[in-house]
Amino acid sequence: MHTWAGVITSLIVYVMFALGSVVLFYDPLTVWEEPLLQAPAPALASLDAPLALVESLPEDFYYYLPHDGFGPPKIGYFLPGTSDWRKWWLDVEHGRLVPQRELAAGYLYDLHYLWYNATGYWLQYGAGVLVFGFLSAIVTGVLIHLASLLRQLNRFRPERGARAVWSDLHKVAGVFGLPFQLVYALTGTLMALSPLLFQLSLGPVFGGDVARAMEVAGPLIDDPPPLDYGAIVTPISFERAAASARAAEPRLMIESFVARGYPRERGSIDVRGMLAGEPFGDALVRVRLRDGVVQEVSTPDRERSVGAVARFIHGLHTVEYGGMPARVLMLLLALGTCATIVTGNLIWLERRRREQTGLGHLLLARLTSGVGAGTPVAVAALLLASRLSPLDAPTHMRDELLAMLVAFAASIAVALSTRHTGRTWAGLLGCAALLLAALPLVATSHSQAGLLGGGPTIETVRAVECGFLCASALLLVSALGIGIAARKAAQR
Amino acid sequence: MSVALFAALLYLGVALQYAADPTSALGALASRRPPRSVGGAILLMLTVAAFALWHQREPGPAALLMVIAGLAAFGTVFALVAPVLPRLTWGLAGLSLVAIPILLSLGAWP
């Protein structure tokens, strides 16, 4: 079961973990990609002033305040009746709405759990099921090796043959990364499947009462199903909603508002943010839209058990602790997990090398190299396209996604048509390294705040570009190492 | 600075334990028995120090999560990299040994 669960789920789960390792740095990446976020936040006359730029507000929308003192506020919502998510920057200084024009980090974030507008929730549910399969592979792997877990923990024999090396690497990275993998597989499964579980439980558990279901299990899902919010009323201002929320929870550092049923009788505004000095300190104060009465305060010390579960699931998965050092450690562990997954496939292939030369064996070998090395190529191509394509071009976001998909498909095509998988790994990883190394230079076309820009530098932008160069160096060293090993193996 | 001190404490602890007994790295922490080697005892002390340091920076379970993540990451580095590039891993351990008193003298411990 360990082997089959691993092989079946491996390649897609690998992509999810690899993209997840990049998404750990989602916030810095959004600053790097969007020059609007590199300018100081504008002074807001009131919290309601930016929303006056929007001609007609939809029933449900998200309103985000400037983050860390940079960039304008923004609004986001699903286009009515669709799963198309749209965002606009609220440029109060120039009195205009700027449609979201950059989505490189967003694509990585969404594809990390296989969310895509066109496919909606079903691909995400598939991701949840696959990660559950991965969870099974972890549990069965631990059971298989339980007796020899500590003995094998330090056994790494690079001087031995490929099978021993892959086997040792698989066990060492797998066992050391076990807590990380367990936590991420479990929380990831729950996050991906919770909308489905919510829908499935509506009838049998809540008798079809959506409002009651939302009250009990609402914290587990992001977007509630459609509700009847009643007649149109004059809503309270966002200033008043913020004041009510602050009065109810003085520690709240307001980051965003979520309006539901705006501007209707039973509508509400969720005032959201972190609590000062509280780890996993997501807080939410729900204010009634028609009169500003506080309906719910969800903080770690007041919430119900479902809220606590949701907060810990989300907090653990999105690393809401430890700051940047925690994210760097998680990056190392995520890369270790990617290595565990790939080496699992390589062990399978090595074991069957002599007796199996069928199509399945060939496909798995080549797909492992194509997907394994093609993922960093695709990420690098996406980032490069985001800098090469004009920022205000209407096709900019489509170009980014297209570049990513074409690079990924091309990598797989190269892998499928190349006999020596070692050379595929080396070539594709080298290609990804070169693309990433070019980013700081190419990025000067959109922003001068980076390593090679001529303008005032922004620390976050420079840090992101340093990260690109470090990743490029790591990929280059890996490509060279694999290339040398592949050449030696071919000579033998 | 406290971040660098935290990383140096954990890395040095893992390195010393690995030097004392490569076959039971982190066993001193995983086992309920007292550590069986000097390296294990030092690892335990440095881990507790790293936990205390992070606990002052961030209350609650975050300190424990950080220590577990740090031990897992550095443990992987040692088991995989030390046999291939020993100079790199031990060089970093040497740097940690020097860095810890310097960081302490510069006020890295809050």
- Residue A85, φ and ψ in degrees, nearest 5: -90, 130
Q: Establish if B33 touches chain A: CB-CB under 8 angstroms.
A: no
The CA distance from B79 to the nearest CA of chain A, in Å, is: 5
Q: How far apart are the first and last CA of chain B?
A: 10
In tens, the pLDDT along A383-398 reads 999 999 999 898 999 9
* Closest to A105 measured CA to CA, from A478, A467, A491: A467
B-chain CB neighbours of A325 within 8 Å are 3, 6-7, 66
| Residue among A150, A156, A277 minimizing CB distance to B83 | A156
Cβ neighbours around A143 below 10 Å, total: 11
The pLDDT, as a whole number, for residue A292 is: 92
Residue B22: closest C-alpha in chain A: A154
- What sign does the CA torsion over A230, A232, A236, A241 have? positive
pLDDT level of residue A28 (50, 70, 90 thresholds): very high
Q: Going by C-beta distance under 8 Å and a sequence separation of 6 or more, which residues neighbour residue A154? A: A172, B18, B22, B23, B24, B25, B79
Q: Establish if B48 touches chain A: CB-CB under 8 angstroms.
A: no
**Which position has the higher pLDDT, A298 or A109?**
A109
Residue B63: closest C-alpha in chain A: A322
Q: Establish if A160 touches chain B: CB-CB under 8 angstroms.
A: no
- Spell B65-79 as b/e; 16+ CB within 10 A means b: bbbbbbbbbbbbbbb
Q: Is residue A222 pLDDT above 80, yes or no?
A: no
| Residue among B27, B69, B84 minimizing CB distance to A329 | B69
Q: Is residue A89 pLDDT above 70, yes or no?
A: yes
ipTM over 0.90: no
| Residue among A176, A326, A332 minimizing CB distance to B79 | A176
Contact A237, A48 (CB under 8 A): yes
**Which position has the higher pLDDT, A169 or A214?**
A169
Instruction: Report in angstroms the alpha-carbon separations of A191 from A4, A12, A113, A195, A322.
Output: 24, 17, 9, 8, 21
Per-residue H/E/C for A141-173: HHHHHHHHHHHHCCCCCCCCCHHHHHHHHHHHH
Alpha helices in B1-110 (DSSP H): 2-20, 27-30, 38-57, 62-81, 86-105
pTM score, whole prediction: 0.88
The pLDDT, as a whole number, for residue B32 is: 54
Q: Establish if B72 touches chain A: CB-CB under 8 angstroms.
A: yes
Q: What DSSP character marks residue A45?
A: S
CA distance A408 to A15: 11
Q: Is residue A99 pLDDT above 80, yes or no?
A: yes
State the helix-helix crossing angle for A421-442 and A359-388, rounded to 10 degrees: 10
Residue at token pair 């379970």: B61
The pLDDT, as a whole number, for residue A349 is: 85
